[in-house]
Amino acid sequence: MLKRLILIRGIEVLMVLLLASIPLVVNNSFVLGLLTLLAIYGILLIGLDITVGYLGLVNLAQAAFLGLGAYAGALTVTQLGFDMLSALLVSTVIGLVMGGLLAFPSLRLEGPQFALATLSFSALSATVLNEWESLTLGAQGLQLHRPPLFGFVLDSKGFYWLCLCFLGLVWMAMRNLLSSQWGRAFEALRDSPIATDAMGIGTYRHKVTAFALGSGLGGLAGGLYAFNFEYLQPHVFVYELMVILLLGVVLGGRKSLWGAFVGAVLIVLLPNLLSNRLLFQIFSATGFLLALGAGGMALYQKRTKLFQAAAPIIAMGLLVTGSFTVQNTEDWRKAIFALMLFSVVVGLPEGLMGFASRFLSRIFSIDPESFAPPSLLEEVLVRKDVDGAPLLQIQDLKCYFGGIKAVDGVSLTVAAGTIHGLIGPNGSGKSTLVNLVSGLYVPTGGTIQFQGKPLVQGSLFAVAQQGISRTFQNLQLFSELTALDNVMVSMKGYYRSALPLVLMGLAKRDEKRAEADSLALLEMVGLTGQARIPAKDLPYGAQRFLEIARAVARRPTLLILDEPAAGLAHPDVVTLLAIIRRIHQQGITVILIEHHMDVVSELCDTATVLDGGRIIAEGIPEDIRRNPLVIEAYLGKGSEPPPVAAERPGTLEPVAA
Amino acid sequence: MDHAVIQLIVSGALMGLVYALVAYGFQLTYATSKSINFGQGELVMLSAFVSLTLTNTGLPYYLMIPGGLLFGVIAGLFVERAGVRLALEQKSEGWILMTIILGLFGISAAENIWGRDDRPFPTPIPTEPIQFFGVSITPLEISVAVGVVLIMVVIELFKRKTLLGKAFEAVSADRDAAELMGISATRTIMLSYGLSGLVAALAGILVSPITTVGPTMASALVLKAFSVAVVAGLESGFGVVIVGLFLGSLESLTSFYVGSGWREAPGLVLLILALAIRPTGIFGKAVIRKV
């Protein structure tokens, strides 16, 4: 624990001290300029990494936010006479607000639309900065003087230290944010946006907040940029800068503060690298040899495909050839960036820091922090008193897809405190019905009432908020998160601290409580030992159980289990039965969709049978099994009821699966 | 409405057809692979330069066209192989960044091979305006309109009437099911990128005599094509023509009444508005999510 703290924080402190002391030792304005730019780009890239790294989206607007922040800072100083801090505040707020405004429409869809919207936004902001000449003076450029800070005008050294302070603050705030519920939510929504909504975490609002925060940092960097150069021109903040910024994030390493820092170092040094021929030759030759070595090795060990190994070698080979043959490397600047970025994206997708951290973690093996002792399950899932009153009432519910009537006039009542089975052959409408209740689909007609009130329709998130939680037939785990984080991210009612408090690192108590309570839920499904394993590496049965634990973390009134036994081996089915009974004991009403008739008879108080989108039978499982309509739906006409199953209820032989 | 306004609308709309053609190139690849080439504008530009070079070697105009188109197809296939396939295999959105990178390389190559200056593109089609009800249109502009409509009709017929075209439709409807029926999705995606390259090359050849050829000739063009594609929806070929015509005339009016520096603005605003109001586009269909 202590060793971990010393290693990780120690390196950070050392780096800050080192950076801060350079101007004391080296008295060189060129070096000082580079260092200042490094601090500014560090802030900018940390902001960009939130969208590109954590949300996994291609964001082409960060250069525009830098520009908008720069102009906002500059104009408040020249026009309104603001001092340094208030001007920087304006820059940041402009970034935040514009980022939020852009994110609201463009983050609703998956796919290329977001990248397109950010690209258009960049072009639009460049147009505005260029054309609104009465304010920005257009292409002529805007001159300004560095405003005073608390009455003092900083010289370049002082300003550098100020930028470094901001970088340090941003660094700490981001680390606090990313190690909180927010950070988990960002990763969760990248893995499964549907589950993020169904767990009531909220995909959309986390995306919008993340993008706005990143853009706010872009704005802050812009303000500092303006006060550093004291001269602004719109054409600086264009497409090419955007590509360079992406190069910085990707080459440095996504999802890492250190990666953003390394990326910033790189893009600060890049222009100097290009202007010195020998340096450029050495650099490109090193890149080529690295690509050759890594690619060759990976091919030899059959870890990669030919394209992934060969493409970076070819690209780097072109770079080397170019470094010896072209007359002026400056002319080929864009191609050089393109080749470098191409090689990194294909050959080193985890970036320099991702690559380095694999080695570092081998050398310095640090024990993970120990867990808090798990809470008592009785305290996590406080037993609810249930009275058997109608909890969920569905009236004449319909859902048509074109001509297909997936659910065609279903009316159903689920009593509080029961386990209600929902069975039927494939394509009978069970999953559609559940998707309607949980808000994934909008019904064509009919009403759903929950706890006597109409249920919000067509929003997974809103339904989850009302106390309905579900699992998925095809697993929708947050595959990159650990088992523990999968549960923690879904815990309801634990993360009450406001965002500013989280940024300041004042939400640690929420975290500890959520962790202890999540461990209790993992214990309930028998996964305590696997708490640190990423969900994607768990065995299939364990993944099913983890989904149940995650759904229960919502502490729901109604839990919908969509075919939890599908594909489970016999011993796992036994465990599953025990888990469902345990959950039910705590007063949680369960809707169980199942193919295994025996699981249904074992657990359910009532069962409803669907076929062709309609209800064909309803009652206690014993009667259902003998109902001729049900047997016909499952086995076709002319079949006798299976005598064995009827005589030995409760065994685990599938009647129809 | 007086003649000046009609004139603005008509000549803007004709330009809008070129946006529609480039946007149609996005749709072709989006249909098969849910990906688009962010460097499509650079493909337009490079094809125009190659065609110009072919013309300068003394090749007659109508023989140069197949050469330019062939280059477009090859470039399209290259983009698919180098920038898209890996990302699709990894089921990631890496193709966005990769196609941007390839486009950037293309710009840089063009700057250094052909220079940064804009050059005229010779054409045998006359440029003296003809009067239609008081609106003057050049035969060159008519040739653009005819070329755009013709290629789109041919490709749509290909998709609907030929076996290969049906494979194209099958992959766009359900990639996995198509694979199970023995249709190679990879080859179909290659085909779509080839076609998309062809469309880009034709757009370059058609528009160059009007706009001149230069490394940045397509950077504004492609932004407007993005707007058209998003506003119309990434599925509807008919929609891009309508939206293209509309955006072209809107832009021409903006440029006249507000100022030529603002001519890009309506497209960009429309794109963001479309995402806010109807994210699947005016002619797009909502997708049913399955879990």
Q: Is A431:A441 a contact under the CB 8 Å cutoff?
A: no
- A644 pLDDT band, cuts 50/70/90, is very low
Domain for residue A599, yes or no?
yes
For residue B290, the model assigns a pLDDT of 63
CB contact under 8 A, A472 and B291: yes
CB contact under 8 A, B108 and A332: yes
When divided into structural domains, chain A yields a total of 2
Region of poorest pLDDT, from A261-275, A436-450, A490-504? A490-504
Residues 245-284 of A with CB under 8 A from B: 246, 250
CB contact under 8 A, A102 and B272: yes
For residue A367, the model assigns a pLDDT of 66
Distant-in-sequence, close-in-space partners of A544: CB < 8 Å, separation ≥ 6 = A471, A475, A564, A567, A568, A572, A576
Helical axes A29-49 vs A2-25, angle rounded to 10°: 140
- The mean predicted confidence, pLDDT, of chain B is 86
Q: Is B291:A194 a contact under the CB 8 Å cutoff?
A: yes
Region of poorest pLDDT, from A170-174, B102-106, B282-286? B282-286
A541-581 tens-digit pLDDT: 999 999 999 999 998 999 999 988 888 888 898 999 999 99
For residue B166, the model assigns a pLDDT of 87
The pTM of the full predicted model, rounded to 2 decimals, is: 0.86
Its domain, for residue A101, covers 39-237
Domain for residue A351, yes or no?
no
CB contact under 8 A, B105 and A338: yes
Of A335, A339, A346, the CB nearest to B86: A346
Q: Is A577:A602 a contact under the CB 8 Å cutoff?
A: yes
Domain for residue A3, yes or no?
no
Its domain, for residue B114, covers 3-277
B70-87 tens-digit pLDDT: 999 999 999 999 989 888
The better pLDDT of the pair A256, A217 is held by A217
- B57-61 mean pLDDT: 84
Out of A183, A205, A237, a domain closes at: A237
Domain for residue A247, yes or no?
no
B127-171 tens-digit pLDDT: 788 887 778 888 888 888 899 999 999 998 988 888 888 888 888
Q: Is B11:B144 a contact under the CB 8 Å cutoff?
A: no
Complex-level ipTM beyond the 0.85 threshold: yes
CA distance A135 to A410: 63
Chain A: give the shortest CA distance to residue B66, in Å: 28
For residue A473, the model assigns a pLDDT of 87
CB contact under 8 A, B100 and A243: yes
- A280-291 mean pLDDT: 89
Q: Is A104:A121 a contact under the CB 8 Å cutoff?
A: no
Please check the confidence at residue A365 and state whether its pLDDT lies above 70.
Answer: no
Q: Is B111:B215 a contact under the CB 8 Å cutoff?
A: yes
User: Which residue, A518, A559, A205, A432, is CA-closest to A197?
Assistant: A205
Q: Which residues of B touch A251 (CB under 8 A)?
A: none
- The mean predicted confidence, pLDDT, of chain A is 86
For residue A640, the model assigns a pLDDT of 54
How many other C-beta atoms can be found within 10 angstroms of the C-beta atom of residue A362?
8
Residues 189-248 of A with CB under 8 A from B: 194, 239-240, 243, 246
Please check the confidence at residue B194 and state whether its pLDDT lies above 90.
Answer: yes
When divided into structural domains, chain B yields a total of 1
CB contact under 8 A, B97 and A334: no
For residue A612, the model assigns a pLDDT of 86
Of A307, A332, A339, the CB nearest to B86: A307
Domain for residue A300, yes or no?
no
- A653 pLDDT band, cuts 50/70/90, is very low
Beta strands B130-132 and B135-137 are antiparallel
Please check the confidence at residue A232 and state whether its pLDDT lies above 60.
Answer: yes
Please check the confidence at residue A199 and state whether its pLDDT lies above 80.
Answer: yes
Q: Is B108:B66 a contact under the CB 8 Å cutoff?
A: no
Of A116, A331, A472, the CB nearest to B111: A331
Domain for residue A567, yes or no?
yes
CATH number of the domain encompassing residue B75: 1.10.3470
Domain for residue A313, yes or no?
no
A119-131 tens-digit pLDDT: 888 888 888 888 8
For residue A651, the model assigns a pLDDT of 41
Domain for residue A349, yes or no?
no
For residue A124, the model assigns a pLDDT of 85
For residue A654, the model assigns a pLDDT of 42
- A216-240 mean pLDDT: 89
Q: Which residue in A has a C-alpha nearest to residue B115's C-alpha?
A: A331
Q: Which residues of B touch A113 (CB under 8 A)?
A: 230, 275, 279
Please check the confidence at residue A111 and state whether its pLDDT lies above 80.
Answer: no
Residues 348-377 of A with CB under 8 A from B: 349
Out of A237, A257, A278, a domain closes at: A237
Q: Which residue in A has a C-alpha nearest to residue B99's C-alpha?
A: A342
Selection from A46-60, B193-207, B249-263 with the highest mean pLDDT: B193-207
Domain for residue B291, yes or no?
no
The strands making up A468-470's β-sheet, listed across from edge to edge, are A468-470, A558-562, A589-593, A419-423, A606-611, A614-619
Please check the confidence at residue A218 and state whether its pLDDT lies above 90.
Answer: yes
Of B35, B104, B264, the CB nearest to A337: B104
- B89-98 mean pLDDT: 85
